[in-house]
Amino acid sequence: MQSLTIRRPDDWHVHLRDGAMLKAVAPFTARQFARAIVMPNLSPPVTSLAAASAYRERIVAAAGPKTGTRFTPLMTCYLTDDANADEIARGHAEGVWVAAKLYPANATTNSAHGVTDIRKLWPTLERMQAIGMPLLVHGEVTDPDIDIFDREAVFIDRVLGGLVRDFPALRIVLEHITTAEAAQFVADAPATVAATITPQHLHLNRNALFAGGLRPHAYCLPVVKREKHRLAVRAAAVSGSPKYFLGTDSAPHAVDAKEASCGCAGIFNAPFALESYAVVFDEEGALDKFEGFASEHGPRFYGLPLNEGEVTLERRTAVVPDRVVDLVPFHSGGTLGWQMSRSLP
Ligand code: DOR
Ligand code: ZN
């Protein structure tokens, strides 16, 4: 197969930031994706309806004019211990908030205001279940006594299993899964539970963090895991199961914030995201499953229409520059065997 045309895809998990960074990165996401679920971990986090509406307008302005394609940001509410179920329900009814994001406090970038005890969220989760608003979960415990490579699996044991049991009708997305345990949990769970998968967790195992020296641009959270986990996540992505779908977790940080004594977590993969995924599906002999993963499973889970329009990828070498808008992109300085050639809205 020399070219692959699929229905226009969506990114079900992205960090677009704000200000100058937003202006720099949003066009890359808008070029490849019709819609994106935008993470609310700004500083301060997007907890109010007014903040979410204003942020959505800034995103549309940053993404729009240059790309020539329509791009729709789908906004999320950052859950805190003080989450207000009425405001969240109102925002959902008004079409501002598509979903709400659970960050365990201090699990990752700008999560200091996250949830300290899941029981504090019970009334909010009850309401979200009642109104059909999905819960998006950063699935890691923050207990410093737990080895960082085990934090996802322990979260599943300690928190997620109970959530799924106690809220049987709540739609839950376990974001950016990285382990065999997560892939298995989602496979075994009811149809209310799904997962997003990033390109980096399909390409990298934890050796990438230390290849010839410390590699800050391979550092994201949840951190990449052992090879057996990468293979399990790959198998899930290409399985054709509607429970797994595309979510890049593109998370840009300035180069000096990455290349520091205490560097930030996050991989900026937006410029070549589709190419990066296509390489994996090709390597797995599963190009026929790519459209489902990229363009169908997500909207069906969220109860949104499939996109019109299409994108075409061609089997030819894409050269990834060392820098893109002064940031280090995923696959920096490398090549990918697929390139997006066409996007029709
Ligand atoms: O690597 C990550 N970067 N993981 C996250 O959960 C947050 C993100 C960010 O915002 O930088
Ligand atoms: Zn993220």
Structural domain boundaries in the chain: 10-307
Tokens (6 digits) for 330:
């995923």
Report how far residue 247's alpha carbon sits from residue 199's, in angstroms, rounded to the nearest whole number: 8
Mean pLDDT of all residues in 59-74: 82
pLDDT of 317 above 90: yes
Rounded Cα–Cα distance for residues 77 and 322 (Å)? 34
Which atom of ligand 1 approaches the CA of 222 most closely? 4
Quote the pTM value: 0.97
Q: Which atom of ligand 1 is nearest to the CA of 41?
A: 10
Residue pair 203/282 in contact by the 8 Å Cβ criterion: no
* Ligand 1 neighbourhood includes 35 CB (under 6 angstroms): no
30 CA to middle of ligand 2, Å? 17
The predicted structure's pLDDT at residue 65 = 64
pLDDT at position 66: 54
CB of 220 sitting under 6 A from ligand 1 = yes
Residue nearest to atom 10 of ligand 1 (CA): 109
pLDDT band of 68, cuts 50, 70, 90: low
- pLDDT tens column, 256-267: 999 999 999 999
d(CA 213, CA 221): 19
Confidence bin at 141 (pLDDT 50/70/90): very high
- Which of 187, 188, 191, 196 lies closest to 139 in space, CA to CA? 196
Q: Is the pLDDT of residue 164 over 60?
A: yes
157 catalytic residue (yes or no): no
Write the DSSP symbol of residue 80: -
- Ligand 1 centre to CA of 182 (Å) is 18
Average confidence (pLDDT) over 293-300: 98
Q: Note the pLDDT of residue 64.
A: 75
Q: Report DSSP state, residue 343.
A: E
Do β-strands 193-197 and 244-246 pair in parallel, antiparallel, or remain unpaired?
parallel
Give 222 Cα–ligand 1 centroid separation in angstroms: 8
Percent of the chain at pLDDT exceeding 90: 93
Please state, as a whole number, how many other Cβ atoms lie within 10 Å of the Cβ of residue 183. Answer: 26
pLDDT in tens, 201-252: 999 999 999 999 999 999 999 999 999 999 999 999 999 999 999 999 999 9
| 10-307 has CATH 3.30.470.20 classification | no
Is any atom of ligand 1 closer than 6 Å to the C-beta of 217?
no
Q: What's the CA gap between 266 and 30, in Å, rounded? A: 19
Among the listed residues 117, 143, 157, 249, the single catalytic one is 249
Q: Does the Cβ of 139 fall within 6 Å of ligand 1?
A: no
Query: What confidence score (pLDDT) does residue 111 get?
Result: 79
Q: Is 258 in the pocket of ligand 1 (CB under 6 A)?
A: no
Neighbours of ion ligand 2 (CB under 5 A): 249
Strands 335-336, 318-319: pairing is antiparallel
Q: What letter represents residue 69's amino acid? A: T
Backbone angles phi and psi of 231, in degrees to 5 = -65, -35
pLDDT (average), residues 121-131: 97
